Amino acid sequence: MLKINEHYLKLQASYLFSDIAKRVAAFQHAHPDKNIIRLGIGDVTKALPPACIAAFHRAVDEMAVDSSFRGYGPEQGYAFLREAIAQHDFQARGAEISADEIFISDGAKCDTGNIQELFSSEARVAIPDPVYPVYLDTNVMAGRTGAFADGRYQGLVYLDSTAENNYVPKLPNEPVDLIYLCFPNNPTGSTISKAELKTWVDYAKANKALILFDAAYEAFIRDESLPHSIYEIEGAREVAIEFRSYSKSAGFTGTRCAYTVIPKECAAYDSAGNKQFIHPLWNRRHCTKFNGVSYPVQRAAEAVYSDEGKAQCKALISGYLENADLIAAAVKELSFDYIGAANAPYVWIRCKRDSWEFFDMLLNKAGVVCTPGAGFGKCGQGYIRLSAFNSRENVVKALERIRQALA
Ligand SMILES: *Cc1c(COP(=O)(O)O)cnc(C)c1O
């Protein structure tokens, strides 16, 4: 008799987006003429930069001719892309990362979800609350938690991100081995300073722990004092893995390209206490389970680093950040506390009532869809997230309706 992995049975069904969809559908059915504006999505809405499209087309044409056709590429990604990343995303910022420490993949979701399989099932895991659910659910699947009770999985260390700590969690007061951090943050849009990030790096070094740093939103940083990469922090090469993605920075959510950085010094330990480097283990996993990102997609990603590509991505991000500024200004004018917008495409709003109650109010009175904060964790209760991923026109219209609904 085949038995299943019973850890999967512990998973809480994620009702968040299906609940939202149901409520929106019911509202639309009752008000067929009402035009609903969605500020709830975490997906980009603008077309790929023209430089990426041109490179994508050229690469597709190469695939049409035997002499330039390419079959399987290197599992870790083509050197042209890995070298461009090392140079532009790291060395240019004073972070010592080399091309062979970069693994190209089809998404930061898969990478942040898969990385945990390199570590012991006994690893003590620290996860922020509120959180991008991938970190949490993949550790539940792997059996690193107990049952779900009272809004949380037993056996995990939750890192509360609240108004009290300005949405940057404090160091845990019990020992942990594996630490997930995401800055600029989804869902809160909060950021971490170099000094705060240094306390985490120092903690990891002192405790032989490892930081998994999700920097999917680094391109939205406007405050030049903030770290774009954890490797801008001294000592991070030994204790941190970083995840990046072209999804939000260049509009690749439907095109699929991302990468993971594993410095050669980065290590964990075997049961005899011997240091084991992570780079060769991840390389082994990657080559065993993955056959590389498609050649045209890697060429499209490479074009992000051309002069035109850089300017076009910057314009794309500025457009979303200007939306975020408009949302923040409106929220402030309506006397709500909020965080985000400054260096992220999200605004995290303290709604002074239940998350879902506020969601229903915005939907029914303004025809605007937000994301209830409670869907991201216990600490998200009493908050909603508004996303800047929409057209200027829709954002302006939505904010006007919200002002009227709350007047
Ligand atoms: C969008 C997002 C990603 C990117 O995921 P992809 O699989 O590369 O599209 C990673 N982390 C967070 C927190 C995100 O919000």
Statement to judge: residues 204 and 346 lie in one domain: no
**Other beta carbons within 10 Å of 399:** 23
* Whether residues 274 and 351 fall in one domain: no
Rounded to 5 degrees, what angle do the CA atoms 177, 179, 185 make?
175
User: Which of 307, 335, 353 is the C-terminal boundary of a domain?
Assistant: 307
Q: Is 213 in the pocket of ligand 1 (CB under 6 A)?
A: no
Residues 303-307, mean pLDDT to the nearest whole number: 98
pLDDT of residue 334: 96
Range of the domain at 31: 12-47+308-406
Query: What CATH number has the domain bearing residue 374?
Result: 3.90.1150.10
- Ligand 1 contact, 137 CB (< 6 A): no
pTM of this structure: 0.97
Please report the atom of ligand 1 found closest to the CA of residue 247.
9
Q: Is residue 270 part of a domain?
A: yes
**What is the count of structural domains for the chain?**
2
CA 243 to centroid of ligand 1, rounded, Å:
9
Q: What is the mean pLDDT of residues 321-329?
A: 98
Please give the average per-residue pLDDT across 233-244, as a whole number. Answer: 98
Answer whether residue 104 is part of any domain. Answer: yes
Q: Are residues 279 and 372 in the same domain?
A: no
Q: Do both 136 and 191 map to the same domain?
A: yes
CATH of the domain at 300: 3.40.640.10
Residues 268 and 359 placed together within one structural domain of the fold: no
Residues 6+ apart with CB under 8 A from 307: none
Condensed to tens digits (0 to 9), the pLDDT of residues 136-160 reads 999 999 999 999 998 899 999 999 9
Q: Compute the average pLDDT of residues 192-196.
A: 98
Strand-pair category, 346-350 with 338-340: antiparallel
The ligand 1 atom at the shortest distance from the C-alpha of residue 182 is: 13
**Do 323 and 246 belong together in one domain?**
no
Residue 37, pLDDT score: 96
Is the same domain home to 180 and 258? yes
- With respect to residue 6, please indicate whether it lies within any of the assigned structural domains: no
Q: What is the pLDDT of residue 85?
A: 98
- Other Cβ atoms less than 10 A from the Cβ of 161: the count is 27
Rounded-to-integer distance, Cα 159 and Cα 232, Å: 23
Question: Which among 110, 214, 385 is the best mutation to test ligand 1's pocket, defined by most ligand atoms within 8 Å of the CB?
Answer: 214
Q: Which of 331, 334, 210 is nearest to 267 (CA)?
A: 210
pLDDT digits (tens, 9 = 90+) for 356-382: 999 999 999 999 999 999 999 999 999
Whether pLDDT at 390 is above 90: yes
Residue 3 in domain: no
The answer to whether position 4 is within a domain reads no
pLDDT tens track for 159-191:
999 999 999 999 999 999 999 999 999 999 999
- Residue ending a domain, choose from 307, 340, 356: 307
133 C-beta closer than 6 A to ligand 1: no
41 in contact with ligand 1, CB cutoff 6 A: no
Atom in ligand 1 nearest the alpha carbon of residue 109: 7
Predicted local confidence at residue 407, as pLDDT: 83
Per-residue confidence (pLDDT) for residue 398, from 0 to 100: 98
pLDDT tens digit sequence for 66-122: 999 999 999 999 999 999 999 999 999 999 999 999 999 999 999 999 999 999 999
- Using DSSP bridges, classify how beta strands 210-214 and 240-245 pair: parallel, antiparallel or unpaired: parallel
Measured by CA distance, the residue closest to atom 2 of ligand 1 is 216
User: 42-68 pLDDT, tens per residue?
Assistant: 899 999 999 999 999 999 999 999 999
Check pocket membership of 107 for ligand 1, CB cut-off 6 A: yes
5 found inside a domain: no
* Cα–Cα distance measured from residue 78 to residue 328, given in angstroms and rounded to the nearest whole number: 41
Residue nearest to atom 4 of ligand 1 (CA): 108
- Helix, strand, or coil here: 210? strand
Nearest Cα residue to atom 11 of ligand 1? 216
- Letter for the amino acid at 163? A
Domain presence at residue 158: yes
Residue whose CA lies nearest to ligand 1 atom number 14:
216
Dist CA 191 CA 185 (whole Å): 6
Q: Please determine, for residue 14, whether its predicted confidence score (pLDDT) is greater than 90.
A: no
Residue 13's pLDDT is what? Answer: 77
Residue 230 is assigned to a structural domain of this protein: yes
Q: How far is it, in rounded angstroms, from Cα 190 to Cα 262?
A: 25
* CA 216 to each of CA 208, 252, 275: distance values in angstroms, whole numbers, following the listed order: 25, 12, 29
Asked if 38 and 148 sit in the same domain, the reply is: no
What distance lies between CA 259 and its chain's CA centroid? 12
Average pLDDT over residues 225-229: 98
Same domain, 161 and 205: yes
Q: How far is ligand 1, taken at its centre, from the CA of residue 237, in Å?
A: 22
- Residue 18 is predicted with a pLDDT of 85
The model's confidence at residue 16, banded by pLDDT at 50, 70 and 90, is: confident
Both 294 and 391 in one domain: the answer is: no
Cα angle value 320/56/279 (rounded, 5°): 80
Domain boundary among 307, 328, 343: 307
248 lines ligand 1 (CB under 6 A): yes
Residues 169 and 77 both lie in one domain: yes
Pocket test of ligand 1: the residue of 103, 248, 297 to mutate, having most ligand atoms within 8 Å of its CB, is 248
Residues 27 and 149 in one domain: no
- What is the band of 246 on the pLDDT scale with cuts at 50, 70, 90? very high
Q: Which residues contact 195 (CB under 8 A, 6 or more apart)?
A: none
Checking if the pLDDT of 15 tops 90, the result is: no
Q: Number of helices (H) and strands (E), helices first, in the chain?
A: 13, 17
pLDDT band with cut points at 50, 70 and 90 for residue 17: confident
pLDDT, tens digit (0-9, with 9 covering 90-100), for 312-321? 999 999 999 9
Predicted local distance difference test score (pLDDT) of residue 12: 86
